[in-house]
């Protein structure tokens, strides 16, 4: 073979390999590969080939092609392709150079920029319609084809070609081939890995020979000749598929001012973007929420976007396995099923509120009343208490001016780490403000506190009632505020004094229940009263995720009511957010709400679809389908095995998500969502000041993913409601929403936020109500316009609406700990993770990659458990294995582990990274169980036992 023939042969082989990696292998190509012309050449080559892996690879591919019909091979390889390259499986073979620089599942790293430089130098760029990344193996192989053709036809010098081979492909082909071989289930892809690695190493030798002007090795020439002849029979054509002619100037470095959406804290965030690649995230200076800070999650938010585990295309499940689908097919399939199933038998589960006005409206037009958010799993008891008793779910305290702060079950330093209020909390403690943290676990915030009160789980209501008793009995409360601005005090006083049932809620009564001495409870009440009004009590999920804590939240917030500290400097703040206008313009038709007034499940107070009852609802024939957006109900809504069974029993399920998860794996259709950095929204927000917060798209949607608005517009169109969802771009709905504000979208883009109202105290005096005035919103509404000791919703429903303590097991007797299961287990949030949504982010997993179970030192000693031991934790309903962390930082009789762990996909599920592994405490929950008042599952009240394995 002469030089031209050799280079053309090389080009053919590069084209062949590029084609096999570029996409799932089309049926026509498998048919061609199964023909004699191709197989004959391959066979001939195998007979004389002396290169071990090349020969073995050919054998494996030939074996696959000869083992079944082309159609069967095609189907098997489609499923395998989805598993390996579209992240439908738990052990993907990432086809990107970026992932092998550090061997971490992270794309869009330095090799992409370098690849773009090489392409530019070669007068090429990645094709717009090749939706995958620049450093995809198919693109790098196609570039080698280009170089080889240039050498053949134009006798171009090959230095640049061999530099690229050595500087790129050879740097990662070993690792990639090893990963592909270990991950592949079919002989075909194992063979492809062998051929690829072997061919490229022979190319290395060829490069040496060429550069030193030596002749090509004869045996290699033979391989080139016969392999290229085989490839020629496939008629792959002349077109390039990943690359196109022409240079594209790189985009300049720019700064995108936005807000973080990793958690719902929404701190101001500034992204550096270079050539459509986010190179870093930092806090947005001046932003009211973050004050220029970001937590570790926000600083690594772009690694969620660049996680190599991202879903890239729609997927459809067939015969229990996923295959790639077009958007048309996947959306058609979804909507056909939505139309077939009664809307009242479909549950819409959404895990976040990104542009929720759109998907809420689409699902209302469709007609399902069964819409849930994460609310029930989060802090519904607190919301139902606070949103009815005054006007806001979480009255964040004005820490800056506080003298005494009591936090029940809030770990501010972990859950709100980047927020400005945490910085002010730290400053307040430093200047001498007393911080008391009530939590069975010594959390980061408890460590900061002046006093850590290690209360028994689920008994906060008793302690709070004991404190309220002291404030009322000793006349320490603010009579003027109570008289003018509260409702239901007399009834509350009767409850405290035991006038209803003969049980006074004294500190001694409380001490028996909560395990905190009466002296401590009395002292804290006195301190609280003395420091008022610069005091505040607040609670969160540490309280809410035990059963029957609606009344407990009322009890502890009642301390604020008794001392009149709402909106006082240093007290809990009243929230007002300047409402945005509708996303629909004045002349745009609004969609109908076709959802009947129908409640799928009913509790004492909360009714609607209660996802913790998912299995029960499916078994009773009440639910037949689910559409899930950015949610992981399997891991978060209740008993994991029970929710999993429920989804498996559905007639149809579809998930819209960025990653494969314990939930998406069960669905019939999976639609790839964008991360928040690839789409935009605007919201009214508050952090002492009221402000408009922009989340601004930093980069174009990656792969074949779409924004949530685009996806729901397509669903609406297919449901017959397309005329109501007509925005042509994000700008259109953003401008509509901003039309009542004194800032334009263009202006907002430059700053990222816009303060509408400065921080003010005692706003309710000006408003004449605890509710914000017209034009402003908050999450709740008090019917009386006052602070209610008596919950008006409960009063209307004829059920107990006064603050109190109720046993967690009152409605579910078998939740009560007993001699078999004497310990209470719950999960806690860690700084590094946001529930279940950050476990595909390698930076966050490196910071926190497992969740040992915290065991009290004394308990561990008695049970013979040492730090680091493998233990079994059992509830009456399931058991799990974990690693013990023996510590004094948790109350005796209590177990706790970080939440969100236990994934079957992402870094935890990937056998390449066995160092990341944890368990989901929710596996141990009682199936079909929630608080009957608020529908919150008892996530932090699971009776268990622990033993060393």
Partner 1 sequence: MAEILALDDVLDATVLIGKILSKKGHKVHCFTEEDKAIAHAKENAVDLAILDIKLEKMSGVEVLGILKKLRPTMKAIMLTGYPTVETAREAISLGADEYCVKPIDRDELEDKVEKVLKARGLKSAMNV
Chain residues in the site for partner 1 (CB under 8 A):
52-53, 102-104, 166, 174-175, 177-179, 181-183, 190, 193-194, 197-198, 201, 204, 208, 842, 911-915
CA 294 and chain centroid, separation: 17
Q: Which residues, 6 or more positions from 432, have their beta carbon under 8 angstroms from its beta carbon?
A: none
The helix/strand/coil state of 152 is helix
Asked if 142 and 18 count as a contact pair (C-beta separation under 8 A), the reply is yes
Asked if 677 and 702 count as a contact pair (C-beta separation under 8 A), the reply is no
For partner 1, the closer CB: 204 or 375: 204
Asked if 707 and 772 count as a contact pair (C-beta separation under 8 A), the reply is no
For partner 1, the closer CB: 195 or 435: 195
Shortest distance (Å) from residue 160 CB to partner 1: 16
**Backbone φ/ψ region at 893: left (φ over 0), alpha (ψ -120 to 50), beta:** left
For partner 1, the closer CB: 184 or 311: 184
Pinpoint the alpha helices (H) of 367-411. Answer: 380-389
Half-sphere exposure of 560 (CA within 13 A, CB side): 34
For partner 1, the closer CB: 559 or 842: 842
Shortest distance (Å) from residue 305 CB to partner 1: 19
For partner 1, the closer CB: 58 or 671: 58
Shortest distance (Å) from residue 178 CB to partner 1: 4
Q: DSSP strand E in 382-510: where?
A: 404-408, 434-438, 451-453, 486-487
Shortest distance (Å) from residue 151 CB to partner 1: 21
What's the rounded Cα separation, in Å, for the pair 904 and 662?
6
State the Cα angle at 208 between 205 and 212, rounded to 5°. Answer: 145
Count H helices, E strands: the chain?
A: 38, 31
Shortest distance (Å) from residue 129 CB to partner 1: 32
Nearest by Cα to 554 from 807, 804, 811 = 804
Asked if 374 and 765 count as a contact pair (C-beta separation under 8 A), the reply is no
What's the rounded Cα separation, in Å, for the pair 472 and 494?
10
**Backbone φ/ψ region at 510: left (φ over 0), alpha (ψ -120 to 50), beta:** alpha
For partner 1, the closer CB: 53 or 668: 53
Asked if 97 and 115 count as a contact pair (C-beta separation under 8 A), the reply is yes
Q: DSSP strand E in 570-668: where?
A: 577-578, 601-602, 607-608, 625-629, 652-657
Shortest distance (Å) from residue 46 CB to partner 1: 17
Shortest distance (Å) from residue 915 CB to partner 1: 6
Shortest distance (Å) from residue 111 CB to partner 1: 13
For partner 1, the closer CB: 667 or 842: 842
Shortest distance (Å) from residue 183 CB to partner 1: 8
Could you tell me the two tokens for 15? 């084209």
Shortest distance (Å) from residue 917 CB to partner 1: 12
For partner 1, the closer CB: 800 or 910: 910
Shortest distance (Å) from residue 543 CB to partner 1: 39
For partner 1, the closer CB: 5 or 178: 178
For partner 1, the closer CB: 502 or 914: 914
Kindly state the helix (H) or strand (E) to which residue 425 belongs, with its residue range: helix 420-431
**Would you tell me how many other CB atoms lie within 10 Å of the CB of residue 239?**
7
Shortest distance (Å) from residue 846 CB to partner 1: 8
Taking CA atoms, 411 is separated from 261, 301, 730, 834, in Å, by 19, 21, 36, 13
Shortest distance (Å) from residue 194 CB to partner 1: 5
What's the per-residue H, E or C state across 903-924? CCCHHHHCCCCCCCECCCHHHH
Four-residue CA torsion sign, 509, 512, 513, 516:
positive
Shortest distance (Å) from residue 182 CB to partner 1: 4
For partner 1, the closer CB: 188 or 913: 913
For partner 1, the closer CB: 162 or 399: 162
Taking CA atoms, 823 is separated from 38, 456, 810, 942, in Å, by 67, 11, 18, 8
For partner 1, the closer CB: 190 or 317: 190
The helix/strand/coil state of 513 is helix
For partner 1, the closer CB: 634 or 842: 842
For partner 1, the closer CB: 57 or 902: 57
For partner 1, the closer CB: 184 or 558: 184
CA 138 and chain centroid, separation: 30
Shortest distance (Å) from residue 107 CB to partner 1: 15
Shortest distance (Å) from residue 358 CB to partner 1: 39
What's the rounded Cα separation, in Å, for the pair 468 and 470?
5
Pinpoint the alpha helices (H) of 235-326. Answer: 296-299, 302-305
């Amino acid at each position: 073979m002469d030089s031209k023939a050799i280079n053309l042969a090389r080009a053919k082989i590069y084209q062949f390999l590029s084609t096999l990696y570029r996409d799932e292998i089309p049926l026509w190509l498998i048919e061609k590969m199964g023909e004699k012309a191709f197989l004959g050449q391959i066979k001939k080559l195998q007979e004389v080939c002396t290169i071990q892996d090349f020969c073995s690879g050919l054998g494996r591919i030939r074996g696959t092609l000869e083992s079944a019909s082309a159609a069967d091979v095609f189907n098997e390889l489609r499923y395998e392709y989805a598993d390996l390259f579209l992240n439908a499986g738990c052990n993907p073979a990432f086809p990107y150079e970026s992932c092998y620089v550090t061997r971490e599942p992270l794309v869009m790293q330095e090799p992409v920029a370098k690849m773009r430089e090489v392409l530019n130098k070669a007068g090429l760029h990645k094709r717009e319609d090749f939706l995958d990344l620049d450093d995809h193996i198919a693109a790098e192989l196609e570039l080698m084809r280009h170089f080889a053709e240039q050498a053949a036809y134009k006798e171009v010098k090959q230095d640049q070609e061999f530099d690229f081979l050595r500087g790129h492909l050879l740097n990662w082909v070993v690792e990639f081939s090893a990963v592909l071989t270990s991950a592949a289930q079919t002989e075909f892809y194992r063979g492809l890995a062998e051929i690829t690695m072997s061919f490229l190493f022979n190319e290395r030798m060829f490069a040496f020979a060429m550069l030193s002007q030596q002749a090509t090795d004869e045996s290699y020439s033979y391989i080139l000749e016969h392999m290229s002849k085989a490839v020629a029979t496939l008629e792959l054509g002349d077109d390039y598929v990943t690359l196109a002619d022409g240079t594209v100037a790189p985009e300049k470095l720019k700064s995108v001012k936005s807000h973080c959406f990793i958690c719902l804290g929404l701190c101001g965030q500034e992204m550096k973007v270079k050539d459509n690649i986010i190179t870093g995230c930092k806090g947005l200076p001046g932003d009211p929420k973050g004050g220029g800070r970001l937590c570790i999650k926000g600083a690594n938010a772009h690694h969620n976007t660049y996680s190599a585990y991202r879903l890239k295309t729609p997927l459809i499940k067939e015969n229990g396995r996923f295959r790639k689908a077009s958007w048309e097919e996947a959306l058609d399939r979804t909507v056909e099923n939505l139309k077939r199933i009664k809307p009242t038998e479909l549950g819409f589960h959404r895990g976040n509120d990104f542009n929720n006005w759109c998907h809420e409206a689409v699902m209302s037009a469709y007609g399902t009343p069964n819409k849930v958010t994460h609310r029930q799993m989060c802090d519904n008891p607190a919301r139902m208490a606070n949103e009815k008793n005054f006007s806001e779910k979480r009255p964040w305290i004005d820490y800056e001016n506080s003298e005494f702060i009591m936090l029940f079950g809030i770990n501010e330093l972990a859950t709100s780490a980047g927020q400005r209020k945490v910085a002010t909390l730290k400053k307040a403690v430093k200047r001498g403000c007393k911080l008391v943290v009530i939590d069975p676990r010594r959390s980061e915030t408890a460590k900061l506190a002046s006093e850590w009160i290690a209360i028994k789980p689920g008994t906060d209501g008793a302690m709070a009632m004991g404190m309220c008793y002291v404030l009322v009995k000793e006349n320490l409360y603010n009579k003027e505020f109570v008289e003018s601005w509260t409702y239901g005090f007399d009834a509350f006083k009767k409850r405290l004094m035991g006038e209803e049932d003969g049980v006074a809620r004294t500190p001694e009564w409380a001490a028996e229940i909560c395990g905190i001495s009466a002296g401590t409870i009395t002292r804290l009440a006195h301190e609280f009263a003395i420091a008022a009004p610069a005091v505040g009590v607040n609670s969160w999920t540490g309280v809410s995720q035990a059963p029957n804590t609606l009344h407990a939240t009322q009890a502890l917030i009642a301390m604020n009511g008794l001392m009149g500290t709402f909106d006082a400097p240093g007290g809990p703040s009243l929230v007002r957010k300047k409402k945005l206008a509708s996303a629909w313009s004045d002349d745009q038709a609004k969609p109908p709400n076709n959802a009947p007034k129908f409640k799928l499940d009913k509790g004492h107070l909360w009714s609607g679809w209660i996802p913790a009852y998912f299995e029960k609802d499916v078994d009773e024939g009440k639910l037949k389908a689910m559409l899930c957006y950015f949610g992981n109900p399997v891991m978060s809504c209740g008993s994991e095995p029970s929710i999993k069974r429920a989804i498996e029993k559905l007639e149809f399920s579809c998930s819209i998500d960025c990653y494969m998860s314990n939930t998406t794996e069960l669905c019939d259709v999976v639609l790839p969502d964008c991360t928040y950095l690839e789409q935009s929204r605007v919201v009214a927000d508050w952090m002492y000041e009221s402000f408009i917060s922009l989340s601004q798209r930093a980069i174009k949607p990656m792969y074949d993913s779409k924004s949530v608005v685009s996806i729901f517009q397509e669903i609406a169109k297919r449901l017959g409601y397309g005329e109501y969802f007509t925005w042509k771009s994000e700008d259109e709905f953003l401008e509509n929403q901003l039309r009542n504000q004194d800032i334009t979208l263009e202006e907002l883009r430059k700053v990222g936020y816009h303060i509408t109202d400065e921080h003010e105290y005692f706003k309710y005096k000006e408003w004449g109500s605890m509710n914000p005035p017209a034009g402003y919103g908050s999450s709740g509404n008090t019917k009386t316009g006052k602070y209610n000791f008596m919950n008006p919703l409960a009063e209307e429903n004829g059920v107990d609406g006064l603050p109190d303590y109720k046993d967690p097991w009152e409605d579910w007797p078998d939740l009560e700990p007993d001699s078999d299961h004497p310990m209470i287990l719950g999960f806690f949030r860690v700084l590094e993770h946001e529930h279940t949504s950050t476990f595909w982010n390698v930076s966050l997993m490196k910071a926190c990659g497992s969740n040992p179970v915290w065991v009290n030192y004394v308990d561990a000693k008695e049970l013979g458990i040492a730090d680091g031991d493998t233990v079994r934790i059992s509830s009456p309903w399931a058991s799990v294995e974990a690693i013990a962390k023996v510590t004094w930082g948790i109350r005796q009789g209590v177990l706790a582990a970080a939440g969100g762990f236990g994934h079957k996909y992402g870094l935890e599920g990937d056998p390449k990274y066995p160092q990341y592994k944890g368990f989901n405490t929710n596996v141990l929950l009682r199936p079909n169980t929630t608080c009957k008042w608020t529908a919150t599952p008892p996530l932090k009240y699971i009776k268990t036992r622990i033993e060393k394995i």
